[in-house]
Amino acid sequence: MNHAWLGLAAVLFSGCAAQQSKLMHSSMLLDTTPPAGDALVVFVRDSSPCDGGDPFRLVDDKYRFIGESVPSSKFAVRVPPGERAFFVWQPNGDLPRDLYPSANQVGALQSEFEAGKTYTVEVSITNATHGVRKTCFAYQFLALRMVNPEDPEMKEVLGKAMPLTPDVAAGQATVDREHAAVEAHVALGMSKLGR
């Protein structure tokens, strides 16, 4: 009997572990007040039936660590005003490049951000379930899109999302250490933006 409970506990805790990020910290709440002189961008990720729970890495076009997005989470970052591009991918979740050279799983967003404004960006998986059994593809294709936080459906997603705070120093150290992989993903994102 004890072995059954231990097995169940291992399954439950391993599911939770997949949704953790060592580069993010829990926060009591998320302040969405835009800072003077900068824009505030809130990144939100809902859960999905095809979601394996792994963190998705976000960087900007200057190779700066923005954060890691996990299911049912949100976090906010200050950005200087002007045109900015963001990219997201799942580390260690790429299709083999030698077999699928034209596959592009990176989500990308480019927009103009104004000082004193708050923007909400949804991080999502674009794969839908497929086939008769509604199975999910093992590799995830990601997307970033600007959303209206007052939309009733998005308001609900934001309301249930756990607030997180990026560990900028640890995140940037990771991005710098994995520079070649980051550069390759940013290049894929740039191609989606036509840059």
Structure tokens at 134: 């509604």
Task: State whether the Cα torsion 14-161-84-189 is positive or negative.
Answer: positive
> Could you give the CA distance from residue 21 to residue 90 in angstroms, rounded to a whole number?
12
Q: What DSSP element (H or E) covers 169?
A: helix 168-177
Supply φ then ψ for residue 107, to 5 degrees: -90, 140
Nearest to 121 by CA among 69, 184, 48: 69
Question: By mean pLDDT, which of 25-34, 53-62, 130-139, 160-169 is the weakest?
Answer: 130-139
Owner of token pair 């709440």: 29
Nearest to 104 by CA among 188, 26, 184: 188
pLDDT digits 0-9 by tens, 64-122? 999 999 999 999 999 999 999 999 999 988 998 889 888 999 999 999 999 999 999 99
Mean pLDDT of 38-60: 93
pLDDT digits 0-9 by tens, 106-132? 999 999 999 999 999 999 998 765 655
